[in-house]
Structure 1
């Protein structure tokens, strides 16, 4: 899918048919024909279009002739086979050509929807560097937003686990931990790209652009710190709950073993008096009562000892 937008003199964003100077070309999951068309029309290297479509591509910045490619990871929410929420990251490419600014990704993202709907203050398609920095800032902001959602979901799962140890909450913890690992890795890779933009002259920047880039770096650093803190907390919680579950299993086994021993003693007494041999008091009319008292005494004494030792 190819969409072309351009800001007019009245600062309105319009959807246009042809690529012109100062336009923004948004490309999502393009076909081979669309890739060839863009590369031929704008004289782009083929890898500039295909690399951002590889979901394993790492963030980087690359320059070839007058074209610059920036690849960063952006977050998105999906669900796994068990319908558990998974926050993952995929690459998005930003390509600077002489006339146009291009965004390339495999999936639609609400981040770009904010630009399409004119929700970003001071957004102009002809200001390519400013546009890219605003997009980077929005990506970092979405990381922070999703991290807060992860923290909220972690707290909800923790409350559920306090009430009842169910596998669903444990699977939720695993899914959230996986998401935090994705976020931490992607944010650190994005930081490398941001540092290169700051230190090297890949893009032409004015003073306002440099200030915006510094804001992006701060926002990204904050997201990294939050992700690492949440990951540490979540890992600690999972270890704690694993210990609790193990302890509960041990207590259950201890209780069942104690009950088994207590119930075995009356059975042993009854078995002795059921043997076909001479036994004391076997002809006494109170023999059954004696054997019953012996069984109850042994079971009661053993139960008292186990209770004192806090076996149950």
Structure 2
């Protein structure tokens, strides 16, 4: 950000100097010798080169900033994909617990080992979901 700010200020300064240098270079009455005229022409050329370099550096900096932004966005997408997958897996026990927590007759609710079977089925479903997500490269 600091480099970008500096380049913008440098570009503004060069653009403001350009008309003055052109006026000095075009008027032969400012300088009486050819050496001073050549020096003013060289100064104008150097100012043009500095403006070109500033524009090039600004474009490179913009491209670098876009690249860094794309990398950060890609990393954020990867993290969000993993967190969404974890949320999906953790939702399964919540749904099953909510269904079997209701006061209605459900299959297997009369068995003494119903809780163990429900827990085993929940774990199996979660593992199948985890395997499916890993196979599709979501985790």
Q: TM-score range by the shorter chain?
A: 0.7 to 0.9
Deviation sequence 1:173-215 (CA, Å, 0-9, x none): 2x32222122123213312221221111341231221232233
Deviation sequence 1:65-101 (CA, Å, 0-9, x none): xxxxxxxxxxxxxxxxxxxxxxxxxxxxxxxxxxxxx
For residue 275 of structure 1, what is the aligned residue in structure 2? Answer: 102
Deviation sequence 1:125-166 (CA, Å, 0-9, x none): xxxxxxxxxxxxxxxxxxxxxxxxxxxxxxxxxxxxxxxxxx
Q: Which has the higher strand share?
A: 1
For residue 247 of structure 1, what is the aligned residue in structure 2? Answer: 74
Distance 1:211 1:263 in 2: 78
1:238 aligns with 2:65: yes
**Contact 2:10–2:54 (CA under 8 A) maintained in structure 1:** yes
Match of 1:216 among 39, 43, 46: 43
**Contact 1:273–1:279 (CA under 8 A) maintained in structure 2:** yes
Q: State the TM-score, normalized to the length of structure 2.
A: 0.84
Higher relative contact order (CA closer than 8 Å, sequence separation 6+): 2
CA shift for structure 1 position 263: 0.3
**Contact 1:269–1:294 (CA under 8 A) maintained in structure 2:** no
User: Where do 1:121-270 residues align within 5 Å?
Assistant: 173=1, 175-270=2-97
For residue 112 of structure 2, what is the aligned residue in structure 1? Answer: 285
Q: Secondary structure at the match of 2:18?
A: helix
CA shift for structure 1 position 291: 0.8
Unpaired runs of at least 5, structure 2: none
Distance 1:193 1:308 in 2: 67
> RMSD of the alignment, in Å?
2.0
Distance 2:133 2:26 in 1: 71
**Contact 2:92–2:126 (CA under 8 A) maintained in structure 1:** yes
1:304 aligns with 2:131: yes
Aligned residues: 139
